[in-house]
Amino acid sequence: MRPLINLDKCDGCGLCVAVCCSNILKMVDKNLVIVDGDGCDWCALCEAVCISGAIVCPLEIVLNS
């Protein structure tokens, strides 16, 4: 599982990279990339700081069975 990135919306500001405690987001040639998706702890801080909605951490919603 890894956050979803929409590069069309991303302006390359890098705020998500700066806020990610797991250091799994990187800017490579002004493009945002995920370097180690398994390291993501789904804190969703990247989603919170991104003003353009270019990165999201979708949640599965289930009933406790």
Partner 1 sequence: MLEPGLLRAIPYFSELSDEELNEVGQYFFEESYVRDEIIFLEGDEARNLYFVASGVVKTFKTSSDGKEQTIELARPGDVLNEVAVFDGGPNPTSAQAITPVRLYKIEKSKMLAIISQRPVIALEVLRLMAAKMRRLTELVEDLSFRPVVGRVAKILLEQARAPLVSRLSQREMAAMAGTAREMVSRSLKTLEDEGAIKMERNRVVILDPEALERRAA
- Which residues of this protein are in contact with ligand SF4, per CB under 6 A? 3, 10-16, 19-20, 22, 24-25, 32, 40-46, 49-50, 52, 54-55, 57
Q: Rule CB under 8 A: which residues touch partner 1?
A: 1, 4, 13, 15, 18-19, 41-42, 44-45, 47-49, 51, 53, 56-64
Q: Which does 56 bind (CB under 5 to 8 A by kind): partner 1, ligand SF4, none?
A: partner 1
**In sequence order, what are the residues at sequence separation of 6 or more whose Cβ sits closer than 8 angstroms to the Cβ of residue 11?**
52, 54
Closest Cα to residue 50, out of 23, 29, 25? 25
